[in-house]
Copies of this chain bind each other. A is one copy, B any other.
Amino acid sequence: MAEVGEFGLLAALLPSLPSGRDVLLGPGDDCAVVRTRNGRLLLTIDAMVENVHFRRDWLSPTQLGKKAFRINASDIAAMGGLPRWGVLHINAPPQIAAGDVAAISRAAAQAAAHSGACVVGGNLSRASRLAVVLALIGAAPRRVVRRAGARPGDLLYVTGSLGEAALGVRELRRNRAARGPAVRRFREPPLRLRVGTLLARSGVASAMIDVSDGLVQDLGHLCAASRVGARVEIERLPVSRHVRQAGMSLALAGGEDYELLCAVPARRRRRLEGLVAQFGCPFTCIGACVAAPAGVRVVDAHGRIVPVRAAGHDHFGGPTRR
């Protein structure tokens, strides 16, 4: 599997999953969309696997449970929906303390409750490594915002800030007792449900994705689905002073940001400006979509292309989650 990598593999896999009755959107976006008798639901599943996405001494059980909910809910936010129900599966190594498993479940349930959702069931297996798998069902907005839908000329915006979580991972790798804002950000990703629903309800966003595997990679997914290219101005990226000092590759390809990235047609800019005050987080224009097949190009203040190193690798050298 090593040579294929997860993206190639998932891309190869997913079209083979059949689409059925009442399936409005199958694999390949942040969530699937299905139709029930009187509404539509969003479905998503994601996992946190020990020694792939975290080390046990990097996250307490409570942080792990909360993060498991947030990274899943981020996929629902990226379609403009709200999480409703979740089912949790924990793979637990035999030597883990029962209290730790309870703390993971409780934290996931509390994080869900905090967002108006509910963990309604769960299951537990023995396994060699700890893994927390959560499947979430969300209420879909009237108009689901997909990865596809951006047009050349649309402006690109991102919530919050980029690169901080990846800096936190770098700090933890150097010193597992590291503290500070970057480590806190890795441990507790943001959850942009409010922004996602406002962007979907207002009809402002033409396409959206959550940034989990690094900006360039996830923007690449949005561009591929929308059949556009993108030009990103590195000077505009919202980063902390620490990230700028540590290197902008953290913001371009670091991963684990869990911010929302969306495209907005220029004609809807005024409507967007009326919404931004309600977002409760920074919302920054970082570039624009261009005609395909330019791909994602990152440029500096002088318009020169900035090379981006291979994006979206996990904390242990392999490909990441999506």
Q: Could you say which residues of chain B place their CB within 8 Å of the CB of A131?
A: 91, 125, 127, 131
State A144–B322 Cα separation when bound (angstroms).
36
Whether the Cβ atoms of B133 and A17 lie closer than 8 Å is: no
User: Shortest Cβ distance from A65 into chain B, in angstroms?
Assistant: 11
Copies in the complex: 2
Tell me whether A45 and B127 are in contact (CB under 8 A): no
A129 contacts the other chain (CB 8 A): yes
Q: Which residues of B contact A175 (CB under 8 A)?
A: none
A47 part of interface (Cβ distance < 8 Å): yes
Partner of A47, one of B8, B49, B91, B113: B91
Q: Which residues of B contact A105 (CB under 8 A)?
A: 13-14, 16-17
- Chain B residues, CB < 8 A from A239: none
A101 touches B1 (CB 8 A): yes
Per-position binary interface string of chain A over residues 79-119, scored 1 when its CB falls under 8 Å from any chain B CB and 0 otherwise: 00000110111011111111001100110011001001111
In whole Å, how far is A59's beta carbon from the nearest beta carbon of chain B?
16
Q: How far is the CA of A236 from the CA of B84 in the complex (A)?
A: 45
A180 within 8 Å of B (CB atoms): no
Q: Is the CB of A101 within 8 A of B43?
A: no
Note all chain B residues with C-beta closer than 8 A to A281.
none
Which residues of B have CB within 8 Å of A13? 101-102, 105-106, 122, 124
In the complex, identify which listed stretch (A19-27, A154-162, A261-269, A301-309) lies at the interface while the others stay far away: A19-27
Q: Is A123's beta carbon under 8 Å from chain B?
A: yes
| A9 at interface by CB-CB < 8 Å | yes
| Contact A14-B122, Cβ < 8 Å, known A1-B101, A39-B36, A85-B34 | yes
The answer to whether A4 has its CB under 8 Å from any CB of chain B is: yes
**A122 to chain B: closest residue by CB:** B27
A49 touches B17 (CB 8 A): no
Subset of 10 A-B contacts with CB under 8 Å: A9-B102, A9-B124, A13-B122, A17-B105, A17-B122, A20-B118, A21-B118, A123-B321, A126-B316, A126-B318
Which residues of chain A have a CB within 8 Å of any CB of chain B? 1-2, 4, 6, 8-10, 12-14, 16-23, 25-27, 31-32, 34, 36-39, 41, 43-47, 49, 51-53, 84-85, 87-89, 91-98, 101-102, 105-106, 109-110, 113, 116-129, 131, 133, 135, 137, 314, 316, 318-319, 321-322
